[in-house]
C-alpha cells in the first residue's frame, strides 16, 4: 500500500537526512561519545565543543547570545521550567495566559492554580490572537508572569509578541513565549522582541524528538528557579548529562532552518495558495484563525455539513489531524477552536492540514482533490 501523504508537520517533522547524518557521528566508539561534562580528557572536550557549537547555532536562529540557551528535553519541559521557574518563591503571584495555549502551558498553569497561584485565562479573538490591550487589562500589582504562544499549533495564527513584550517590559512583568511553532517558520528575533523566556523544540524544525531549549535573557538578567536538580549543568538551571547527539541534531536543524527560512516561507505560501485554490469548487469551507497574521504551513478548515471524524476516515490517503496532536486520542472538540468562539458542532467540522519542507505541489493538488471528492460524497449521502 502507498504511504499516505503526510500533512501533519505541525505535530512533528521528520528529521532532515542531513541532520541524521550529523547525529550518528556522536554515538559510537569511533565517534564523539564522551560526556560533555568530563573535563579530564579529550573525549569530554570534543563533546563539549560539539555542544557549544550547537548552542551557537540555536542562538543564531533567534538572534540570542549562546549563553542564553539552556538545553531541555523539549518544549514541554522548557514551558514547565519557564513558568514554574519564574513563579517559584514569589509572594502571592498572579499569572496571565490564554485559553488556547499548548497543553504544556495550560496544564502547568492549571497545576499552579492548584498550588494557590492566581491565573487569568484570556479568551483570544476569533482570529486566534490575544491583543496587547487584553494583556494590559489583565495585569495586576502582583502579576509576575505573562505566558503566551507566538504561533498557535492548531490554527497557525501569530500573536504580536513584539508589541506585548514592549508593553510588559515597561510594566516590569516577565514574559514567556512558547515559540515551538514559530522557529523555522517565521522570524524569531529576541533582539527586536522584548521577551524574557522563550521555548523551542527540536522536532518541529526537522531535528530529533526529545530535545529542546529555553532561551533565558541575560540583559536585563532573568532569574528562574531550576526544576530538575543534580549536577548543576546548564549554569544550574537544568541538571542532567547533556545528550550530545540530540543537541548536535537540534543545532544542525536550526542552522538549516535559518538558511532556508525565506525560501521556505515563500514556497509554503505558494503551496498554501495552490491547496486552497484546489478547494475553490467546494462551498461551505471556512478558514479558522487569522487569514492575515499567520504562518503559511498550518491551515485549519471547517467543512459545513461534514464532521471531521467521517472526513478523516474518508481521507485515508492523507495523514491529517483534527484538534491538536496531544488531544487526538480523545474526540472531545478542540479546546482551541472552542476558545476562539466556535460551538461544539463547528469545532467538530474542522481539520488541520499542515505542510512542510518535504511537501510538494503534487501532494497539495492530490490532497485538495481528495478533500473535494470525500466532502462531496459525504454531503450527498446526508
Name the residues that contact ligand PLP, by CB under 6 A.
Answer: 74-76, 102, 104, 149, 153, 178, 180-181, 201, 203-204, 212
Report d(CA 317, CA 367) in Å as an integer: 8
Nearer to ligand PLP, 94 or 185 (CB): 185
Per annotation, catalytic residue among 326, 335, 372, 378: 326
CB of 376 to ligand PLP, least distance (A): 32
Contacts of 111 (CB under 8 A, 6+ apart): none
- Preceding amide of 220 cis, omega within 30: yes
Tell me the closest approach of the beta carbon of residue 321 to ligand PLP, in angstroms: 12
Q: Which residue's Cβ lies closest to ligand PLP?
A: 74
Nearer to ligand PLP among residue 102 and residue 252 (C-beta): 102
Cβ neighbours for 327, distance < 8 A, ≥ 6 positions apart: 103, 334, 335
Q: Looking at beta carbons only, is 180 or 318 nearer to ligand PLP?
A: 180
Count of all residues that appear for the chain in the document: 382
Closest CB 366 distance from ligand PLP, rounded Å = 26
- Closer of 74 and 93 to ligand PLP (Cβ): 74
Task: Closer to ligand PLP by CB, 71 or 303: give it.
Answer: 71
Q: How far apart are CA 284 and CA 300, in angstroms?
A: 14
109 is catalytic: no
CB burial string 85-113: b at 16+ within 10 A, e below: bbbeeeeebbbbbbebbbbbbbebbeebe
Neighbours of 298 (CB within 10 A): 25
Smaller CB separation from ligand PLP, 76 or 322: 76
* C-alpha cell at position 60: 543564531
Return the number of other C-beta atoms located less than 10 Å from residue 121's C-beta.
17
From the centroid of its chain, how far is CA 112?
22
Written as nine digits, the cell of 13 is 517533522
Query: Exposed, middle or buried: residue 329 (CB in 10 Å: 0-12, 13-18, 19+)?
Result: exposed
| Shortest Å distance, C-beta 38 to ligand PLP | 27
Rounded least distance, CB 13 to ligand PLP, Å: 10
Q: How many CB atoms neighbour CB 326 within 10 A?
A: 15
CB of 76 to ligand PLP, least distance (A): 3
Shortest distance, position 170 Cβ to ligand PLP, whole Å: 26
Q: Nearest to residue 248, comparing CAs of 75, 26, 64, 77? A: 26
Using the structure block, give the residue that is written with the C-alpha cell 514551558.
79
Q: Measured between alpha carbons, how far is 201 from 211 in angstroms, rounded to an integer? A: 6
Quick one: 262 exposed, middle or buried, by C-beta within 10 A (0-12, 13-18, 19+)? exposed
Which residue shows C-alpha cell 479558522? Answer: 288
Output 74 or 251, the one with its CB closest to ligand PLP.
74
- Which residues are designated catalytic? 326
Amino acid at each position: 500500500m502507498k504511504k499516505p501523504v503526510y500533512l501533519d508537520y505541525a505535530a512533528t517533522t521528520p528529521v532532515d537526512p542531513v541532520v541524521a547524518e550529523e547525529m550518528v557521528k556522536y554515538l559510537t566508539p569511533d565517534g564523539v561519545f564522551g560526556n560533555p561534562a568530563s573535563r579530564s580528557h579529550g573525549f569530554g572536550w570534543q563533546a563539549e565543543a560539539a555542544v557549544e557549537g550547537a548552542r551557537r547555532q540555536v542562538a543564531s536562529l533567534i538572534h540570542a547570545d549562546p549563553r542564553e540557551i539552556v538545553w531541555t528535553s523539549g518544549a514541554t519541559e522548557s514551558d514547565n521550567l519557564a513558568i514554574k521557574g519564574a513563579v517559584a518563591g514569589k509572594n502571592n503571584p498572579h499569572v496571565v495566559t490564554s485559553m488556547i495555549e499548548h497543553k504544556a502551558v495550560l496544564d502547568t498553569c492549571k497545576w499552579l492554580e492548584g498550588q494557590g497561584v492566581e491565573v487569568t485565562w484570556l479568551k483570544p479573538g476569533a482570529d486566534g490572537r490575544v491583543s496587547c490591550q487584553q494583556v494590559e487589562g489583565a495585569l495586576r500589582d502582583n502579576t509576575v508572569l505573562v505566558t503566551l504562544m507566538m504561533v498557535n499549533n492548531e490554527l497557525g495564527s501569530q500573536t504580536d509578541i513584539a508589541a506585548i513584550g514592549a508593553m510588559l517590559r515597561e510594566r516590569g512583568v516577565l514574559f514567556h513565549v512558547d515559540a515551538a511553532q514559530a522557529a523555522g517558520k517565521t522570524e524569531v528575533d529576541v533582539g527586536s522582541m522584548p521577551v524574557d523566556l522563550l521555548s523551542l523544540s527540536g522536532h518541529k524544525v526537522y531535528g530529533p524528538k526529545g530535545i529542546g531549549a529555553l532561551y533565558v535573557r541575560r540583559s536585563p538578567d532573568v532569574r528562574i528557579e531550576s526544576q530538575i536538580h543534580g549536577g548543576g549543568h546548564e549554569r544550574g538551571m537544568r541538571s542532567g548529562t547533556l545528550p550530545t547527539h540530540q543537541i548536535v541534531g537540534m543545532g544542525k536543524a536550526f542552522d538549516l532552518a535559518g538558511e532556508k527560512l525565506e525560501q521556505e516561507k515563500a514556497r509554503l505560501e505558494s503551496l498554501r495558495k495552490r491547496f486552497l485554490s484546489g478547494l475553490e469548487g467546494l462551498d461551505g469551507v471556512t478558514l479558522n484563525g487569522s487569514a492575515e497574521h499567520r504562518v503559511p504551513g498550518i491551515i485549519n478548515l471547517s467543512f459545513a455539513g461534514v464532521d471531521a471524524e467521517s472526513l478523516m476516515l474518508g481521507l485515508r490517503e492523507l495523514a491529517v489531524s483534527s484538534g491538536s496532536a496531544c488531544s487526538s486520542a480523545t474526540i472531545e472538540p478542540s479546546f482551541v477552536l472552542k476558545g476562539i468562539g466556535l460551538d461544539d458542532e463547528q469545532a467538530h467540522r474542522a481539520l488541520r492540514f499542515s505542510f512542510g519542507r518535504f511537501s510538494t505541489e503534487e501532494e497539495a493538488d492530490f490532497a485538495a482533490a481528495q478533500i473535494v471528492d470525500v466532502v462531496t460524497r459525504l454531503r450527498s449521502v446526508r
